[in-house]
Structure 1
Amino acid sequence: MLKVGLMGYGKAGQAVARVLAEDPRYELCWVFRHRACAETTVEGHPHIPVRSMQSTDLDQWLNDHPVDAVVDFSNAEAVRWYGEQIKVRQIMLVTAISSYSDAQLDDLKTLGKATRVLCSPNITLGINFLLMAAKLLRGIAPFADVEVVEQHFREKPEVSGTAQKLAQSLNLEDEKVTSLRVGGIVGHHEVIFGFPHQTVRLIHDSIRREAFGTGAAYALQELSHCSTGFYTFDDLLLSSIRAQLLRESASDLPTGGQTAASSSR
């Protein structure tokens, strides 16, 4: 069982905490939130403390409460607070921050030389599969018109980092991304391929924020099998797909202990 610490306890962080606390593969040991707060615990799990980054000596805390992995749903600046401890202790890191600067990404890649690091602006399994499928179709049909539509709750100020990643991976200009802010939509991303006589829409909807938690749980499981390095969600997903294809290929081989090639000799 992996011991896990969580950075960030906003709406997404609270959902992730609930998922990890109930997953038998992991032991959620503690949660840190960025802003100052009275010491409390994860709702429904009074043994899991929630503490403020501002009032905690992280070095001493990790001596007293060691973990195998950290999951980050806080903000882009938090890595400066915990990065050195992650490095020296070789703690596995899964970060789902969508607003890292180029310099911060470089720091994370450097961190990947000391431990295992997974960085993804959207950590839901579905959106990453959508991203992979969109890139595949773009390669097959580069002549198609392509647009990206993203919809989120009205309080979200910035363009979705996931939409930006979709556009970048498909070589689209910024004006090819349409953003809508309405009501309480958790997250909607759509890639539209316009062909002369047909239209293909690849759609992903985050129904509940717990989807981020299941994505983080998947990332932790897959990353635990990796060697030291910096990884994207694509890397983990491709590894899973290759393993699945190999299993299916092996199951298609003739029975009886011989392959078709060897039995024909």
Structure 2
Amino acid sequence: MSIQAPIPVVVNGATGKMGREAIKAIAQANDMTLVGAIARNPSVQGQDIGEIVGCGALEVPVIADLQATLAMAAQEKQAAVMVDFTHPDAVYENVRSAIAYGVRPVVGTTGLSSDQLQDLEEFADKASLGCLIIPNFSIGVVLMQQAAMQASQYFDHVEIIELHHNQKADAPSGTAIQTAQLLGEFGKPYNPPTVAETEKLPGARGSVTEDGIRIHSVRLPGLLAHQEVIFGAPGQIYTLRHDTSDRAAYMPGVLLAIRKVLQLKTLIYGLEKIL
């Protein structure tokens, strides 16, 4: 039986907090090989990414040219994957570029609009290329969302609070938006009004979805990634909460997505779809 070649992986946003963890996890995975590390920071250009993240030399220098790296990865014998942990302003073009080169995107960057997601889905379909957009790689978050979906059958009142570090660029978080979307799939309205509310300060009641679900975003140093889904009914409160204390919690999901995306021919949104 022939031994399959390791999966070539490019990490875009390699020196960011999530990118660093991804580099370490990929370097330790027997069925993967790191072939590219992209970062814009001029102070790290040309340095070995393994030395930067503290896992030993990997003989992969940091470069800023995504297009050149994708072109190189596309020449690998085995189908290549791009893991993207960059910025909401750049992720759409990054994903389009990867698909154009035939490199399968696994995206943890949030902030894509509905129109952008639809466009990327159509682009991936035309290319018959797998693409995974994952708002949250934590297995615990998927379990929280599943529990919330079950609870929503019995509660009509629910609000979501998401708390993140103050370097997060987008709000609400992709996880909170996805959670609200999952609850909205039941086709029921939430939080029927009982009084005429007045916000003395705009935004005091958070954002609100078409289904009436309110989402509140907190940004503070000292936080990492946290979410509460709070259900209320007369005489009771039911709270679901997930806390992340280390970004290593996301890496099993990242590695799973890298392996699964090779089997896909279209864009899939959400970790729960590949578990």
Structure 2 regions of 5+ residues with no counterpart? 1-5, 185-189, 191-205, 209-213
Deviation string 1:179-236 (CA, Å, 9 cap, x unpaired) is 2233321101111112334332211111111223222112223333x33111122552
Given candidates 39, 44, 47, the residue that maps to 1:40 is: 47
Larger radius of gyration: 1
Q: Does 1:214 align with 2:239?
A: no
Q: Identity across aligned pairs (percent)?
A: 23
Tell me which residue corresponds to 2:220: 182
Q: Secondary structure at the match of 1:121?
A: coil
Tell me which residue corresponds to 1:57: 68
Cα pair 2:26 2:34 within 8 Å, conserved: yes
Tell me which residue corresponds to 1:255: none
Q: Secondary structure at the match of 1:40?
A: coil
Tell me which residue corresponds to 2:268: 231
RMSD: 2.7
Cα pair 1:111 1:117 within 8 Å, conserved: no
Q: State the number of aligned residues.
A: 234
Aligned mates of 1:200, 1:166 — CA distance in 2: 16
Question: Structure 1 128/87 Cα, relative in aligned 2: closer, same or farther at 3 Å?
Answer: farther
TM-score by length of 1: 0.76
Identify, as 1 or 2, the structure richer in helix. 1
Aligned mates of 1:45, 1:102 — CA distance in 2: 40
Q: Does 1:3 align with 2:8?
A: yes
Q: CA deviation at 1:108?
A: 1.7
Deviation string 1:70-128 (CA, Å, 9 cap, x unpaired) is 11111242442563453343x32211121113343133202321200111222222212
Question: Structure 1 201/22 Cα, relative in aligned 2: closer, same or farther at 3 Å?
Answer: same
TM-score by length of 2: 0.73
Aligned mates of 2:225, 2:268 — CA distance in 1: 24
Cα pair 2:35 2:73 within 8 Å, conserved: no
Match runs of 1:1-265 below 5 Å: 1-9=6-14, 10-36=16-42, 37-42=44-49, 43=53, 44-54=55-65, 57-58=68-69, 60-62=71-73, 68-76=80-88, 77-81=90-94, 83-89=96-102, 91-113=103-125, 114=127, 115-138=129-152, 140-143=153-156, 145-159=157-171, 160-171=173-184, 174-175=207-208, 176-224=214-262, 226-233=263-270, 236-237=273-274, 240=275
Which amino acid in structure 1 is aligned with residue 252 of structure 2?
A: T
Q: CA deviation at 1:170?
A: 2.7
Question: Structure 1 62/68 Cα, relative in aligned 2: closer, same or farther at 3 Å?
Answer: closer
Aligned mates of 1:178, 1:30 — CA distance in 2: 37
Tell me which residue corresponds to 1:261: none
Which amino acid in structure 2 is aligned with residue 106 of structure 1?
A: Q
Which amino acid in structure 1 is aligned with residue 96 of structure 2?
A: G
Structure 1 regions of 5+ residues with no counterpart? 241-265
